[in-house]
Amino acid sequence: MDSIVVAEFRGLFWGEGSVLITRKRLKGRGLWTYVPALTMDMYNDEREILKAVALHIGGHFGGPYKISGANDSFRYRWRVDGFTQTPPIARLLLDGAVLPHPKIEQLGLLLEFCNYRLSFRHSYLGRKVKAKLAEYFERMKALRC
């Protein structure tokens, strides 16, 4: 991948991106799961930037989404989630990062979370594993404050 594209993406992400561990309810089962994600939201006049990110880096481009309380304002979102797509892009952001940034610690935690969850090959997870995943979720929330 072109180093200039990666550097521009890193700069955009440091300013506009979010590192997440999201909690999702499994369909029809009433159970919760935790999923890694990277997102960037931008307003209407910057949607071409997010389209270019999806084209060059990967992930999904979506929108427009109406912003609640704002007159005629819409936002667009770039998103990558899941255990197969998220870690490579997180590593791409970390590799070559020179300047200190709070998101570096968040990305490190995200990769630790992915490695822990992927160490279990089966879908059934015991109480201890679920508690550890919930702990990662809470740690990420604390880092994002």
- Would you state the pLDDT for residue 110? 98
Global model pTM greater than 0.85 = yes
- Would you state the pLDDT for residue 20? 97
- Would you state the pLDDT for residue 117? 92
- Would you state the pLDDT for residue 65? 85
C-beta separation of 42 from 49 below 8 A: yes
Tell me the pLDDT tens digit for each residue of 77-117.
999 999 999 999 999 999 988 878 889 999 999 999 999 99
- Would you state the pLDDT for residue 112? 97
C-alpha–C-alpha distance, residues 100 and 24, integer Å: 31
pLDDT string in tens for the chain (145-residue length): 788 889 999 999 999 999 999 998 877 777 788 999 999 998 877 888 899 999 999 999 998 888 777 666 788 999 999 999 999 999 999 998 887 888 999 999 999 999 999 998 776 778 898 899 999 999 999 998 7
C-alpha–C-alpha distance, residues 39 and 144, integer Å: 13
What is the residue-wise DSSP string for 21-83? EEEEEPTTT--EEEEEEEEEEEEGGGHHHHHHHHHHT-SEEEEEEEPTTSTT-EEEEEEEEST
CATH architecture assignment, domain 3-144:
Roll (3.10)
Residue spans of the domains in the chain: they are 3-144
- Would you state the pLDDT for residue 70? 62
